[in-house]
Structure 1
Amino acid sequence: MITIRNHPERGRFEVLDGEAVIGQSAYLDHDGSQRIFYHTVIDEEYGGQGLAGRLAAQALDETVAAGLVIVPVCPYIRNYVEKHTRYAAHIRTPTPDILEFLNTSLAGRARR
């Protein structure tokens, strides 16, 4: 059974087939008001089933419900919000400051 859940400790929404993680949309929360989506992927063998779209919709809907602004750095999420205009009021275009925060945060994770 395919399910989608937020895993905030890992900073990602996950697509699961049973207990196996088969896809994810990774994010970083910033300033208590923004969620920066920076990477979305579905395992190859699950491609073509619409799972990335289901993942994006649930991740974005939960982000909006939490009162957070969506910052779409990930190309998939960026394209998704462009096609699904219901998110337009909840989008913030990535700024150099946000990209610097993202790069610094991810570099810090890589060093651990």
Structure 2
Amino acid sequence: MSEEPRPVEVVDNPSRGRYELRDGGRMVGHARYVVVAPEQDGTERVVFFHTEVDADREGQGLAARLAAFALDATIARQRTIVPVCPYIAAYVKRHREPYAAHVAAPTPADLAAVRTAAQLG
């Protein structure tokens, strides 16, 4: 009797600033983000700046699954989505509902936060 393969799961790893695609104990993809201080209305901004899936896992719909999970979690936490990452920006554009009302263009402060986060690795 063969064992059922475990499904790939998506988890938030806020200490590393990324949502992770995990297959068992192995990370097979991630979407990096930085949380920027609240706007005047008190809403935090989540700036997504890099999404990647391992080459051997491409073409399986995992990047879309990762994007949907990350964006849905951002909305559930009542945060604003700031798509700097080309993949996340394209995903939001293709799936306007339910994301369009929760998206904002990046500000200079958002881009500065991305530069800092990217340098930290």
Normalising by structure 1, we get a TM-score of: 0.92
Q: Residue 14 of structure 2 aligns with which residue?
A: 8
Residue of structure 2 equivalent to 1:85:
96
One-letter amino acid of the counterpart of residue 19, structure 1: G
| Runs of 4+ more than 6 Å apart | none
Gaps of 5+ in 2: 1-5, 39-43
List per-residue Cα deviations over 1:72-100 (Å, max 9, x = no partner).
Answer: 00000000000111100000111233212
Residue 47 (structure 2) pairs with residue 36 (structure 1) = yes
Q: How many residues align?
A: 109
Q: Which amino acid aligns with 1:25?
A: A
Q: Over the residues paired in the alignment, what is the CA RMSD in angstroms?
A: 1.2
Distance 1:38 1:9 in 2: 16
Distance change (3 Å), C-alpha of 1:12 and 1:105: closer
- 1: distance between equivalents of 2:82 and 2:18? 14
Report the alpha carbon displacement of residue 103 of structure 1 after superposing the two structures with TM. 1.4
Instruction: Name the SS for the 2:104 alignment partner.
Output: coil
CA distance in 2, matches of 1:59, 1:40: 11
Match of 1:103 in 2: 115
Identify the structure with the greater helix proportion: 1
